[in-house]
Amino acid sequence: MSTAPFFFKEPFRYLRWASINKPAYFYSICIGLAGPGIIAVAVPTRKYLGYERIAKVPQTYPIPKGPRPRPSGFEDE
């Protein structure tokens, strides 16, 4: 017989056991489950407090308009 409690039979006792005996699994699952809730709360809160995005991040390097100068002085001799 295992000393670990069953989740569906005793959920709070199991969560306590998991937090003591397997903390990496327990806390990573807790953080993962909290993520969507944080997003649901953080976005409206930032808008309420007046946070605005200043500019979009450029996705490409801007290409200069007009003819490009040819470099000189690098010819092979």
pLDDT in tens, 15-52: 899 999 999 999 999 999 999 999 889 888 988 998 88
37 assigned to some structural domain: yes
Residue 21 lies in a domain: yes
Report the b/e string of 17-46 with b at 16+ CB within 10 A. Answer: bbeeeeeeebeeeeeeeeeeeeeeeeeeee
Residue at 66 is within a domain: no
In a domain, 3, yes or no: no
The structural domain count of the chain equals: 1
Q: Is residue 19 part of a domain?
A: yes
Residue 32 lies in a domain: yes
Range of the domain at 29: 11-48
Place of tokens 């989740």: 7
Rounded CA-CA distance 29/48 in Å is 30
Asked if the structure places residue 5 within a domain, the reply is: no
Q: How far apart are CA 14 and CA 7, in angstroms?
A: 5
Question: What confidence score (pLDDT) does residue 2 get?
Answer: 62
